[in-house]
């Protein structure tokens, strides 16, 4: 059954997250891939000290999200958000999806973001990753022409000829969840708004949920949560366009 497949996929991924040798190898791949991007740092594992139960890596130092988001300058928070967009979008383009944008998995300095914890990483087959990349890019850029065919190819609905793809796209737009004041003007984003992104996402009866959808949704909404907490949701589209325009970057082709 579809639900049985979802449970099996979740079980397999949870077990995979306990494989520290696998995590070390994925972390090495990401460290190599972002070696030429000074904005994004991934601590390199020390293979001589990695076992099934222990993962030893290069030391990473920086501020936690809560401290950084409330004390860093606007320019520093913008640089951090640009780094996160690069990490998220280039990651998708390289057939690997980092799906654990938990605030505790990142350390921030004035000009660098350290990315930690590579247990929840999904690697896609070649035929699948292009559709996923277009879906994510279409969602981030609010580009219906890019989003709709990707959503159809990824079987998001049991009735593709009558499905409201525009409504689905709106659910990926942070503006859908923005609060307004008594005068109707939009209120600034607040940290608690990050949680409303996920709470407001509702599946319709004619939507399907494939195993790979789970990790895409987890990655997308947890990523947007970080952007909201950094106070940079309003500038996200421009940052996404900048990253997605870097099609031939060393990071993009390193995997």
Q: Is 25 a member of any domain?
A: yes
Please give the chain's pLDDT, 255 residues, in tens.
466 776 777 777 777 777 899 999 999 999 999 999 999 999 999 999 999 889 999 999 999 999 999 999 999 999 999 999 999 988 655 678 898 999 999 999 999 999 999 998 888 787 788 888 888 889 988 999 999 999 999 988 888 998 999 999 998 888 888 888 899 887 887 777 877 777 777 777 777 777 777 788 888 889 998 998 998 888 888 898 888 875 444 333 333
CB contact at 8 A, 155 and 210? yes
CB contact at 8 A, 149 and 132? no
Q: Is 254 a member of any domain?
A: no
Q: Is 255 a member of any domain?
A: no
pTM of the predicted model as reported, rounded to 2 decimal places = 0.85
Three-state DSSP state, 53: coil
Output the pLDDT for position 94: 65
Output the pLDDT for position 44: 97
Q: Is 128 a member of any domain?
A: yes
- Name the domain count of the chain: 1
d(CA 143, CA 136): 10
Per-residue DSSP letter, 39: T
Three-state DSSP state, 135: helix
The domain of 209 spans 18-246
* Count helices and strands in the chain by DSSP H and E runs: 11, 5
123: CB partners within 8 A, 6+ apart: 95, 96, 97
């Amino acid at each position: 059954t579809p639900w049985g497949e979802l449970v099996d996929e979740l079980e397999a991924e949870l077990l995979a997250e306990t494989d520290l040798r696998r995590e070390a190898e994925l972390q090495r791949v990401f460290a190599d891939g972002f070696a030429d991007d000074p904005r994004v740092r991934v601590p390199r594992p020390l293979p001589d000290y990695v076992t099934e139960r222990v993962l030893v890596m290069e030391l990473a130092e920086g501020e936690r999200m809560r401290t950084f988001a409330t004390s860093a300058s606007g320019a520093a928070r913008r640089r951090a958000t640009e780094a996160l967009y690069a990490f998220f979008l280039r990651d998708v383009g390289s057939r690997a999806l980092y799906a654990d944008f938990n605030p505790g998995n990142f350390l921030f300095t004035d000009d660098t973001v350290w990315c930690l914890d590579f247990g929840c990483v999904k690697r896609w087959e070649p035929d699948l990753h292009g559709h996923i990349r277009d879906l994510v890019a279409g969602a981030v850029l609010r580009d219906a022409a890019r989003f709709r065919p990707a959503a159809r190819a990824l079987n998001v609905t049991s009735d593709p000829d009558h499905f409201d793809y525009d409504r689905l796209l709106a659910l990926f737009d942070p503006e859908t969840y923005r609060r307004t004041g008594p005068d109707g003007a939009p209120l600034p984003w607040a940290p608690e708004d990050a949680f409303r992104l996920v709470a407001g996402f509702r599946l319709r009866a004619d939507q399907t949920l494939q195993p790979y959808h789970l990790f895409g949704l987890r990655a997308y909404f947890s990523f947007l949560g970080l952007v909201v907490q950094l106070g940079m949701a309003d500038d996200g589209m421009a940052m996404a366009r900048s990253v997605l325009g870097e099609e031939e970057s060393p990071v993009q082709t390193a995997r």
